[in-house]
């Protein structure tokens, strides 16, 4: 699976991905890790890796959806932009 580049440099000021990052982190915090019973967090390297791998699988599924005619390439590209933004969450937490 190809590696995706980090998000664009945004210059001074807050990262525009910060609101979605905060939402994603809050969702993880609402769940407990099965092995420890503690709230999950993207600051945990293993959790962050699992999150990223899961999104890579979604990107792969979108490729399959285009191949099967479920999505157009344009629809896929719009979803890829969203998912690649989400993939930046672990670095912004």
CA triplet 85, 38, 87: central angle to 5 degrees? 10
3-state SS, residue 64: helix
Q: Classify residue 46: in a domain, yes or no.
A: yes
CB 47 within 8 A of CB 41: yes
Q: Classify residue 79: in a domain, yes or no.
A: yes
The string of pLDDT tens digits covering residues 45-82 is 999 999 999 999 999 999 999 999 999 999 999 999 99
The string of pLDDT tens digits covering residues 3-13 is 444 445 556 77
Q: How many domains does the chain have?
A: 1
Q: Classify residue 71: in a domain, yes or no.
A: yes
- d(Cα 93, Cα 84) in Å, to the nearest integer? 16
Q: In terms of residue numbers, what domain contains 52? A: 18-30+41-92
**pTM (global) more than 0.75:** yes
Q: Classify residue 56: in a domain, yes or no.
A: yes
Q: Classify residue 3: in a domain, yes or no.
A: no
Q: Classify residue 45: in a domain, yes or no.
A: yes
**Residue 38: C-alpha distances to residues 44, 64, 80 (Å):** 11, 36, 31
């Amino acid at each position: 699976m190809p590696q995706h580049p980090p998000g664009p440099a945004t210059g001074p000021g807050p990262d525009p991905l910060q609101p979605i990052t905060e939402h994603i982190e809050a969702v993880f915090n609402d769940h407990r890790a099965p092995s420890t019973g503690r709230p999950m967090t993207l600051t945990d390297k293993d959790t962050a890796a699992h999150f990223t791998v899961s999104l890579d699988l979604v990107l792969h599924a979108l490729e399959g959806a285009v191949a099967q005619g479920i999505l157009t390439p344009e629809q896929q590209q719009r979803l890829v932009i969203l998912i690649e933004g989400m993939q930046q969450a672990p670095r912004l937490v």
